[in-house]
């Protein structure tokens, strides 16, 4: 391991790429401490603390958004929107590419088409930033978290929205610079840095919640041990499920040209167990914010109407008790909430597979390249088999995603462990960190092997494979 790290910094090009990547991430973290002008930072911090500790719907939403911005959203900084508008715009165009033929054709044109789509994505990102910025500023004004001298100043609103939009565009530019001059995926690296930025807060919360005597609502030595063990198990499981594949054997047809026979080689078609990655959890988590807000707000309106009507306790009516049932049972960690969460993860897992994997196209490509699955005729029979396999594999992957998704809220509800701690036991953040770190290590590994150095996967001091050249 030490020799591998030494090899990394002995290669000038690789060293410069890594240093450039981390310097860009440092710029991102510096922006975390630059507040949005005109906001009452003390009031914002107090408001978010009360919302998260009370496990309100808004608190969950704030934690979800802040996870991608490294806490910049909850502190209302210039990078408060993070890269979420850019991610949303990218997902929109990816989904539209499956239903709009002209956009799909543009995606298939290669670099020129992707450049055009990227340009449109940036425009949509700016539009989303403006909309989200106006919504965020409106919420700050409604909660009296704006300094009094700016509360009724519309020019300040324009300035604040412009700053938030510029912050998101600047982060998008940082991501592109990492892609060009650094190593790893730029936007993913920014998201990972934002998630890991919450780790000190989680450790602080764990320390504050620790009691050697194991008092009520506190974690003793056994609780800490189980927390660490659970973290290691979840991380190990995430790594295994991220790289797990279902390999389908592929046989190439033999071709005779003169006296020589070509082809006939055996290979594999790898199908990832977790084909959707973190996208099903991101979609499900985003939508699961609405039931709590919707049913909670509805119950508050019904309760206010009941109070005005003069109804006595116990005689509120069916609609009052029904909305109360919905607001309680669709709260984070409750049975119906968890059940609906799992159903949403399964739905989006299969939805993502539907738009990303086409068995008919895969079967057609195999047939065009002279390859086939042993025992199956090329064409519809092969497509049917691939669809059956991907359906079964997706079921296993969705089950894993469901466990990872609901684990933080279940542990928080069942054992009273703060959510700032349990979110590192599972959820979107953990999967993103695992996938980004593995992608980063794979790219560093590739750079080392290109230069005949031992990588992270080499055993002992064994050198990397020698590259074959024309001179041997």
Please name which of 3, 15, 6 lies closest in space to residue 447, comparing C-alpha atoms: 15
pLDDT tens by residue, 19-37: 999 999 999 888 888 888 8
CB atoms within 10 A of CB 326: 18
pLDDT of residue 264: 64
Compute the distance between CA of residue 196 and CA of residue 70 in angstroms, rounded to an integer.
7
Compute the distance between CA of residue 184 and CA of residue 436 in angstroms, rounded to an integer.
8
pLDDT tens by residue, 404-442: 888 877 777 776 666 667 766 666 677 778 888 888 888
Structure-token pair, residue 278: 């973190």
Do 168 and 180 touch, CB atoms closer than 8 A?
Answer: no
On whether the 1-197 domain is CATH 1.10.3370.10, my answer is yes
The pTM assigned to this predicted structure is 0.75
Do 147 and 38 touch, CB atoms closer than 8 A?
Answer: yes
Structure-token pair, residue 143: 């909660």
Residues in the chain, total:
472
Low-confidence ranges of the chain (pLDDT < 50): 460-461, 464-472
């Amino acid at each position: 391991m030490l020799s591998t790290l030494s090899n990394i910094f002995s290669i000038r090009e690789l060293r410069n790429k890594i240093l450039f990547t981390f310097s860009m991430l440092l710029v991102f973290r510096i922006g975390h401490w630059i507040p949005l002008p005109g906001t009452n930072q003390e009031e914002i911090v107090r408001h978010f603390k009360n919302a998260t500790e009370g496990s309100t719907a808004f608190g969950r939403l704030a934690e979800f958004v802040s996870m991608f911005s490294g806490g910049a959203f909850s502190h209302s900084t210039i990078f408060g929107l993070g890269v979420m508008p850019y991610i949303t715009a990218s997902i929109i165009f990816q989904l539209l590419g499956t239903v709009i033929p002209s956009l799909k054709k543009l995606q298939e044109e290669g670099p020129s088409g992707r450049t055009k789509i990227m340009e449109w994505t940036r425009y949509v990102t700016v539009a989303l930033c403006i909309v989200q910025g106006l919504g965020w500023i409106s919420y700050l004004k409604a909660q009296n978290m704006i300094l009094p001298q700016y509360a009724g100043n519309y020019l300040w609103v324009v300035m604040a929205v412009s700053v938030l939009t510029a912050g998101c565009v600047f982060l998008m530019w940082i991501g592109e610079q990492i892609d060009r001059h650094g190593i790893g995926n730029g936007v993913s690296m920014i998201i990972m840095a934002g998630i890991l930025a919450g780790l000190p807060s989680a450790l602080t919360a764990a320390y504050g919640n620790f009691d050697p005597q194991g008092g009520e609502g506190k974690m003793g030595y056994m609780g800490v041990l189980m927390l660490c063990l659970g973290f290691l198990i979840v991380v190990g499981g995430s790594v295994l499920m991220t790289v797990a594949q279902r390999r389908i054997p592929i046989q190439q047809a033999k071709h005779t040209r003169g006296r020589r026979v070509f082809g006939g080689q055996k290979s594999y078609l790898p199908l990832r167990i977790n084909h959707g990655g973190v996208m099903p959890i991101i979609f499900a988590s985003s939508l699961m914010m609405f039931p709590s807000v919707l049913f909670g707000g509805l119950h508050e309106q019904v309760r206010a109407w009941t109070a005005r009507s003069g109804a006595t306790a116990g005689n509120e009516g069916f609609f009052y008790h029904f909305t109360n049932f919905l607001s309680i049972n669709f709260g984070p960690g409750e049975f119906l909430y968890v059940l609906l969460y799992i159903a949403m993860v399964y739905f989006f897992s299969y939805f993502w597979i539907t738009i990303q994997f086409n068995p008919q196209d895969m079967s057609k490509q195999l047939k065009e390249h002279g390859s086939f699955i042993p025992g199956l005729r090329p064409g519809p029979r092969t497509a049917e088999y691939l669809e059956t396999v991907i359906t079964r594999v997706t079921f296993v992957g969705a089950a894993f995603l469901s466990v990872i998704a609901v684990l933080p809220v279940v542990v928080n509800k069942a054992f009273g462990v703060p959510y700032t701690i349990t979110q590192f036991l599972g959820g979107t953040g953990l999967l993103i960190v695992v996938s980004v770190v593995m992608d980063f290590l794979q790219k560093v590994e590739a750079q080392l092997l290109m230069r005949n150095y031992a990588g992270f996967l080499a055993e002992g001091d064994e050198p990397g494979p020698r590259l074959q050249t024309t001179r041997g």
